[in-house]
Amino acid sequence: MTRVLVAWIGLTDLNAPTQPERIGLGPLGQAVTWKPFDHAVLLTNHPSERVDPFVQWLGTKSAARLHVRREQLTNPTDFAEIHQAAVRALDETRRQWPEAELTIHLSPGTPAMAAVWIILAKTRFPAELIESSLDHGTRVASVPFDISADFIPDLLRQPDQRLERLSLGLPPEAPEFDHIVHRSPVMKRLVAMARRVAPRSVPVLIEGESGTGKELLARAIHRASPRRERPFVAVNCGAIPAELVESALFGHLKGAFTGATGERKGYFEAADQSTLFLDEIGELPAAAQVKLLRVLQEGEVVRVGATAPVKVDVRIIAATNRDLTGEIRAGRFREDLFYRLAVAVLNLPPLQHRPGDVGLLVDHLLAVVNDESREDPGYVAKRLAPGARNLLLAHAWPGNVRELYNTLLRAALWTSGDSIRAEDVRDALLPSARDSSCAILGRPLGEGFDLQAVMSEVARHYLGRALDEAQGSKTGAARLLGLPSYQTLTNWLGRYGVGKGAGRRGTMLARD
Q: What is the mean pLDDT of each run of 10 residues along the chain (512 residues)?
A: 93 93 92 93 95 95 94 91 94 91 94 93 89 88 62 45 48 72 90 92 95 95 94 94 89 82 90 96 92 92 89 96 91 94 94 88 94 90 89 87 95 91 89 52 63 81 77 81 85 75 43 60
Q: What is the pLDDT of residue 155?
A: 41
Please give the Cα distance from 304 to 169 (Å, whole number).
Answer: 45
Count CA within 13 A, CB hemisphere, residue 173.
3
Contacts of 419 (CB under 8 A, 6+ apart): 382, 383, 384, 385
Q: Label residue 292 left, alpha or beta by phi (over 0 means left) and psi (-120 to 50 means alpha).
A: alpha
> Residue 383's beta-bridge partner residues?
419
Alpha-helical regions (H) of 430-472: 436-439, 451-469
Please give the Cα distance from 475 to 253 (Å, whole number).
Answer: 65
Q: What is the pLDDT of residue 383?
A: 93
| Cα dihedral 189, 389, 362, 373 in deg (nearest 10) | 180
Beta strand pairing status for 275-279 and 300-301? unpaired
Contacts of 181 (CB under 8 A, 6+ apart): 357, 360, 361, 364
Please give the Cα distance from 108 to 10 (Å, whole number).
Answer: 5
Please give the Cα distance from 408 to 388 (Å, whole number).
Answer: 10
Handedness of CA 431, 434, 436, 442 (dihedral sign): negative
Q: What is the pLDDT of residue 434?
A: 43
3-state secondary structure 1-64: CCEEEEEECCHHHHHCCCCHHHHCCHHHHHHHHHCCCCEEEEEECCCHHHHHHHHHHHHCCCCC
Q: Which fold has domain 176-347?
A: Rossmann fold (3.40.50)
Burial readout 77-110 (b: 16 or more C-beta within 10 A, e: otherwise): eeeebbbebbeebbeebbeebebbbbbbbbbbbb
**Cα–Cα distances in angstroms (integers) from residue 46 to residues 11, 29, 42, 73, 386, in the given order:** 9, 18, 12, 9, 30
Q: What is the pLDDT of residue 315?
A: 96
CB atoms closer than 10 angstroms to residue 466 = 24
Closest CA to 359 of 401, 392, 407: 392
DSSP label of 233? E
- Asked if 222 and 206 touch (Cβ cutoff 8 Å), the reply is no
Q: What is the pLDDT of residue 145?
A: 60
Contacts of 46 (CB under 8 A, 6+ apart): 9, 11, 14
Q: What is the pLDDT of residue 501?
A: 37
3-150 in CATH: which number? Answer: 3.40.50.10770
Burial readout 396-408 (b: 16 or more C-beta within 10 A, e: otherwise): bbbbbbebbbbbb
Handedness of CA 378, 380, 386, 390 (dihedral sign): positive
Which run of H or E residues covers position 383? strand 383-384
What would the DSSP string read from start to end of 249-301?
A: HH-B-TTSSTT--S-B--HHHHTTTSEEEEETGGG--HHHHHHHHHHHHHSEE
Please give the Cα distance from 469 to 508 (Å, whole number).
Answer: 9
Q: What is the pLDDT of residue 433?
A: 45
Q: What is the pLDDT of residue 334?
A: 95
Beta strand pairing status for 3-8 and 128-133? unpaired
**Cα–Cα distances in angstroms (integers) from residue 357 to residues 44, 149, 334, 389, 393, in the given order:** 36, 10, 36, 13, 10
352-435 in CATH: which number? Answer: 1.10.8.60
Please give the Cα distance from 26 to 34 (Å, whole number).
Answer: 12
The 3-state DSSP class for residue 158 equals: coil
Q: What is the pLDDT of residue 445?
A: 66
Please give the Cα distance from 226 to 273 (Å, whole number).
Answer: 10
Q: What is the pLDDT of residue 512?
A: 62
Q: What is the pLDDT of residue 324?
A: 92
Q: What is the pLDDT of residue 180?
A: 92
- Asked if 156 and 131 touch (Cβ cutoff 8 Å), the reply is no
Handedness of CA 352, 354, 358, 364 (dihedral sign): negative
